[in-house]
Amino acid sequence: MSVNTGSNPANSDPADSDRVIIFDTTLRDGEQSPGASMNLDEKLRIAALLEEMGVDVIEAGFPIASNGDFEAVNEIAKRAKNSTICGLARSAKGDIERAAEALKPAVRPRIHTFIATSPLHMKFKLQMEPDEVYQQVVDSVSYARSFTDDVDWSPEDGTRTEHDFLCRCVEAAIKAGATCINLPDTVGYAVPEEFGNLVRMLIERVPNSDKAVFSTHCHNDLGLAVANSLAGVDAGARQVECTINGLGERAGNAALEEIVMALRTRQDVMPYTTNVKTEMITKASRLVSTITGFTVQPNKAIVGANAFAHESGIHQDGMLKNASTYEIMTPESVGLSESKLVMGKLSGRAAFKEKLGELGYEMGDNAFQDAFRRFKALADKKREIFDEDIVALVDDEIVRGNDRIRFVSLQVVCGSEGPQTADLTLEIDGEARQMKATGDGPVDAVFNAIKELTGYSARLQLYQVHAVTGGTDAQAEVTVRLEEGGKTVNGQGADTDTLVASARAYMNGLNKLLVKREKTAPSALSA
């Protein structure tokens, strides 16, 4: 079978027919998961990590969708050096122009344009005849090509599209200049054999198929997204669209970590390579989960907390004799190392800086001094400090950024004899303010105190606590999701005291809402 590497700039070596291009869409399709919205800083952090881990193409957003999306694509385009940066566009001229504008600073810009081609979507959603859709395929791809040499075209709901029409559209898209043909299983309906056959059929029947890279974009409604993507690769696709932790619309997309590790682990039956540094997978999973508030289920493949845990006695015995009895890949290969006791009370600035470097953090001087102060305070409270503690602490420091509302101190009275009371001091725009409030339980009392102090009330959609390490002195990492006027944000906070972590998380969410508010109507905080 012939395999297409096309003239796609994302594939640095077009002669390498076994190399699979990893196209990450965490920041676009992933962000479409309800509640997973991310702000600019968060998107920049994720994009930087994706690039560092060797992701070939980063779909950074849908520029016409909002100013926020435009800005994110534009800023990521300015910063990326190696990865191709992609912006999504419907087939309309305005969409393509907006994507091209956002991508202007990119070293390697890609426009991804799409239109639905299934009878169902054409009739009910687009209310267009097939010939009109066909014409839009030609027009949109040609127009996108007038801005960049790298154009990805997708027939939305491709797996439910009539084959002859799909072949006609794909041929026309390639003729109009598409360098990549992406086949979306938009509703996660396909099964692996069927999906593989569809890719094979297109490569075999479309006369100019050798001029483009074929790609998969599989949704997970039946839990088959990864299996379908791999079947696509086996049939000749050389790009996989996927997301960290499988984030995405409805049941999500194919999980990047599963695709990459399946290819790495089963070289015997899938002799394909990717450019991804798999040792960074755990870090990426953690970052996306912390930012979005979407926790990873413990038994999730590759990145779940139990993915490398061995509970039964028989398994533990086998592991002690030879790890490969029950482990098909090593924890180290996904960046999971034994929790290491790193430092303690006596560690100084130099050791702390070195540790940060080892964990992949670079901080400005002020942020470093703040993080070091918090590390010392933590070391006073917690006997053993692990890598995970440092990561939680530094992440917490990074998310604070230029917050207008800052935590100063908290005293809580709680227990079976209410009322639970929180005595909270915050710094708001540089001024210390204090408030006592009661509530239905200590968390409610803390949140009520914050609301009273800031005069700011948002709807709490999610409150989640996670222990960073084992032990009763572990740091708690709290995530909240707040909603105001249809806008949702996630807030994070970490501390050895769960209530302090909760206050920090709630304030982090409020600070993000404030930034959104400021963009539309700058205001002072009432109290």
Q: Which residues would be at the binding site for ligand KIV (CB under 6 A)?
A: 29, 114, 154, 156, 184, 186, 217, 219
- By beta-carbon proximity to ligand KIV, the closer residue of 113 and 289 is 113
Site string for Zn ion, 360-379 (x = CB under 5 A): --------------------
Min CB(115)–ligand KIV separation in Å = 9
Interface region with Zn ion, contact rule CB under 5 A, candidates 27-35, 153-161, 225-233, 272-280: 27-35
User: Which residue has its beta carbon closest to Zn ion?
Assistant: 29
Interface region with Zn ion, contact rule CB under 5 A, candidates 23-31, 348-356, 386-394, 474-482: 23-31
Phi then psi for 33, rounded to 5 degrees?
A: -65, 130
Question: Rg of the chain over CA atoms, in angstroms?
Answer: 25
Residue 154 partner contact from ligand KIV, Zn ion, none using kind-dependent CB cut-offs of 5 to 8 Å: ligand KIV
* DSSP for 105-157, written as a single string: T-SSEEEEEEEE-SHHIIIIII---HHHHHHHHHHHHHHHHTT-S-EEEEEET
Q: How far apart are CA 116 and CA 123, in angstroms?
A: 10
Q: How far apart are CA 374 and CA 170, in angstroms?
A: 56
Residue 477 partner contact from ligand KIV, Zn ion, none using kind-dependent CB cut-offs of 5 to 8 Å: none
CA angle 170, 172, 177 (to 5 degrees): 95
**Sign of the torsion formed by the C-alpha atoms of 343, 345, 348 and 353:** positive
Q: How far apart are CA 271 and CA 334, in angstroms?
A: 19
The strand pairing partners of 490, in sequence order, are 481
Residue 215 partner contact from ligand KIV, Zn ion, none using kind-dependent CB cut-offs of 5 to 8 Å: none
- By beta-carbon proximity to ligand KIV, the closer residue of 112 and 400 is 112
- By beta-carbon proximity to ligand KIV, the closer residue of 29 and 258 is 29
Q: How far apart are CA 518 and CA 457, in angstroms?
A: 16
Q: Residue 475: CB partners within 8 Å, gap ≥ 6?
A: 378, 382, 389, 392, 393, 467, 468, 469, 494, 495, 496, 501
Q: Which of residues 201-260 bind Zn ion (CB under 5 A)?
A: none
- By beta-carbon proximity to ligand KIV, the closer residue of 109 and 442 is 109
Contact 390, 397 (CB under 8 A): no
- By beta-carbon proximity to ligand KIV, the closer residue of 237 and 390 is 237
Min CB(481)–Zn ion separation in Å = 22
Min CB(224)–Zn ion separation in Å = 14
Q: How far apart are CA 84 and CA 150, in angstroms?
A: 9
- By beta-carbon proximity to ligand KIV, the closer residue of 31 and 156 is 156
**Sign of the torsion formed by the C-alpha atoms of 375, 376, 379 and 381:** negative
From candidates 29, 42, 395, 495, binder to Zn ion by CB under 5 A: 29
Q: Residue 220: CB partners within 8 Å, gap ≥ 6?
A: 188, 226, 246, 248, 250, 251, 252, 253, 254
Contact 11, 19 (CB under 8 A): yes
Min CB(90)–ligand KIV separation in Å = 9
Min CB(146)–ligand KIV separation in Å = 21
Min CB(17)–ligand KIV separation in Å = 24
- By beta-carbon proximity to Zn ion, the closer residue of 8 and 186 is 186
Min CB(25)–ligand KIV separation in Å = 7
Phi then psi for 297, rounded to 5 degrees?
A: -65, 145
Residue 156 partner contact from Zn ion, ligand KIV, none using kind-dependent CB cut-offs of 5 to 8 Å: ligand KIV
- The burial class, CB within 10 Å (0-12 / 13-18 / 19+), for 418 is middle
Residue 19 partner contact from ligand KIV, Zn ion, none using kind-dependent CB cut-offs of 5 to 8 Å: none
- By beta-carbon proximity to ligand KIV, the closer residue of 25 and 420 is 25
Residue 114 partner contact from Zn ion, ligand KIV, none using kind-dependent CB cut-offs of 5 to 8 Å: ligand KIV
Min CB(111)–ligand KIV separation in Å = 12
Number of separate helices (H) and strands (E) present in the chain: 16, 16
- By beta-carbon proximity to Zn ion, the closer residue of 243 and 289 is 243
Min CB(406)–Zn ion separation in Å = 39
* 308, two tokens: 């490398």
- By beta-carbon proximity to ligand KIV, the closer residue of 61 and 184 is 184
**Sign of the torsion formed by the C-alpha atoms of 282, 287, 288 and 290:** positive
Min CB(233)–ligand KIV separation in Å = 17
Instruction: Please report, as ranges, the residues that interact with Zn ion according to CB under 5 A.
Output: 29
